């Protein structure tokens, strides 16, 4: 998978490069179909909720998982989050603690461990075993992070997220476009969550999405939790996420003065030389160096005091309707 979203994925018309890549997209789609058709899902004795994407990255999955985990915990569930752990190549699941290293468990797992108290966070590609271990340790509900295309575990509810600005992009399957599976498969999820504002050109607006009218959907908006002292000060912003422009636009949207910005590949492991250069740029301008919470987990310890992380959370007013939809769909009493 590419670690940066190519610009041609989000062009309203199919580009020449996308057309060249279409045969590879067909092969990728066949591989996805074969994997799904040859996998028998394991049914578990507790509710399993998948939060995933039909597109590659950039939909705000991490704050949605954080928000749902807290809300479900408040309603009496002992929640566990299961995730593969991007870049760790770990198969056997491990229970994540806030003191774990990024190299061991990945940036998303660390963010969950830092922000979710009394929630089990399990990392490992063998999520069947992770689920059993979580249940053995008292979990009564499992959140399957990035699980829409994960077939080994049966789910009680599939939630798919779609960025409202970019929509389905050019409508093509990877690598010709941003889709993990054909757009017509969007409707196999149980609940659609549009994140952000607007709709992509190819998506053509929410009404034209291939989403069954009888199935529920809702919208979520995110907000930056600004630390004190940033308003009015010059900022140098950097990040390595799926759609980096969303972070930079969010900073500008809050009236912050971003004088320089730099994007890196998604999940980028920062080298000392890169960070020394960014720190020097900020110091030369009398600016504050800022990044996302997820990126902060990938910083070497000696740089963390020199960078201000800015958390992203769900608007609490928008979260409650989603939680009520989820509870209704899993039969919560």
What's the CATH code of the domain at 169? 3.40.50
Integer Cα distance of 65 and 112 in angstroms:
9
- 149 and 71 both lie in a single domain: yes
Q: Residues 6 or more apart from 101 whose CB is under 8 A from it? A: none
Does pLDDT of 172 surpass 90? yes
Residue of 198 and 203 predicted with greater confidence: 198
| 213-222: average pLDDT | 90
What is the domain extent for residue 186? 48-77+140-221+315-329
Strand pairing class (312-314; 222-224): antiparallel
Q: What's the domain count of the chain?
A: 2
> Residue written as tokens 């468990």?
105
At residue 3, the pLDDT reads 55
Integer Cα distance of 323 and 243 in angstroms:
26
Alpha-carbon dihedral sign for residues 12, 17, 18, 19: positive
| 211-215: average pLDDT | 91
Integer Cα distance of 308 and 226 in angstroms:
10
Does pLDDT of 62 surpass 60? yes
Integer Cα distance of 220 and 234 in angstroms:
29
Region of residue 183 (phi > 0: left; psi between -120 and 50: alpha; otherwise: beta)? alpha
Residue range 263-277, pLDDT digits in tens: 999 989 999 999 999
Does pLDDT of 2 surpass 70? no
Does pLDDT of 280 surpass 80? yes
Does pLDDT of 205 surpass 50? no
Q: pLDDT category, 70, cuts 50, 70, 90?
A: very high
| Percent of the chain topping pLDDT 70 | 95
> Residue written as tokens 């060249």?
20
Integer Cα distance of 112 and 77 in angstroms:
17
3-12, 52-61, 198-207 — which one is most confidently predicted on average? 52-61
- 197 and 241 both lie in a single domain: no
| Percent of the chain topping pLDDT 90 | 74
Is residue 48 within 8 Å of 144, Cβ to Cβ? Answer: yes
Average pLDDT, the chain: 91
Report DSSP state, residue 185: G
- 168 and 249 both lie in a single domain: no
Integer Cα distance of 265 and 68 in angstroms:
27
Is residue 64 within 8 Å of 316, Cβ to Cβ? Answer: no
At residue 4, the pLDDT reads 66
Distances in whole angstroms, Cα of residue 19 to Cα of each of 73, 110, 171, 176: 47, 39, 12, 7
Alpha-carbon dihedral sign for residues 236, 239, 245, 247: negative
- 168 and 205 both lie in a single domain: yes
- 171 and 270 both lie in a single domain: no
Q: pLDDT category, 204, cuts 50, 70, 90?
A: very low
Residue range 92-144, pLDDT digits in tens: 999 999 999 888 999 999 999 999 999 999 999 999 999 999 999 999 999 99
- 60 and 207 both lie in a single domain: yes
pTM of the predicted protein model: 0.91
- Closest C-alpha to 216, from 322, 332, 97, 294: 322
Structural domain includes residue 60: yes
Q: pLDDT category, 199, cuts 50, 70, 90?
A: low
At residue 309, the pLDDT reads 97
- 207 and 263 both lie in a single domain: no
| 25-49: average pLDDT | 91
Q: Residues 6 or more apart from 159 whose CB is under 8 A from it? A: 49, 50, 51, 52, 64, 189, 190, 191, 192, 193, 326
- 206 and 320 both lie in a single domain: yes
Does pLDDT of 201 surpass 50? no
Structural domain includes residue 33: no
């Amino acid at each position: 998978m590419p670690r940066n979203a190519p610009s041609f994925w989000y062009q309203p018309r199919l580009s020449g490069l996308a057309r060249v890549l279409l045969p590879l997209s067909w092969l990728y789609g066949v591989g996805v179909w074969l994997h799904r058709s040859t996998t028998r899902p394991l049914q578990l004795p507790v509710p399993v909720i998948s939060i995933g994407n039909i597109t590659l990255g950039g939909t705000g999955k991490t704050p949605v998982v954080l928000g749902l985990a807290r809300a479900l915990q408040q309603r009496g569930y002992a929640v566990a989050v299961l995730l593969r752990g991007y870049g760790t190549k770990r198969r056997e699941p491990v229970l994540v603690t806030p003191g774990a290293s990024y190299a061991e468990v990945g940036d998303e797992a660390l963010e969950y461990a830092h922000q979710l108290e009394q929630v089990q966070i399990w990392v490992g590609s063998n999520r069947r075993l992770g689920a059993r271990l979580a249940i053995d340790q008292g979990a009564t509900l499992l959140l399957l992070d990035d699980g829409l295309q994960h077939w080994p575990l049966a789910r009680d509810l599939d939630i798919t997220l779609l960025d409202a600005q970019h929509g389905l992009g050019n409508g093509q399957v990877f690598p010709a476009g941003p889709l993990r599976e054909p757009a017509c498969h969007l409707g196999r999820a149980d609940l659609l969550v549009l994140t952000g504002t607007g709709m992509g050109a190819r998506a053509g607006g929410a009404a034209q999405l291939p989403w069954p009218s009888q199935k529920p959907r809702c919208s979520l908006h995110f907000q930056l939790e600004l630390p004190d002292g940033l308003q009015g000060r010059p900022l140098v912003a950097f990040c390595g996420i799926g759609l980096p422009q969303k972070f930079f636009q969010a900073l500008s949207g809050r009236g912050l003065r971003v004088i320089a910005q730099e994007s890196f590949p998604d999940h980028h492991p920062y080298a000392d030389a890169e960070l020394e250069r960014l720190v020097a740029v900020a110091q030369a301008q009398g600016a504050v160096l800022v990044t996302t919470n997820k990126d902060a987990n990938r910083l070497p310890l000696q740089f963390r005091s020199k960078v201000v992380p800015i958390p992203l959370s769900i608007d609490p007013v928008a979260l409650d309707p989603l939680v009520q939809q989820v509870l209704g769909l899993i039969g919560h009493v």
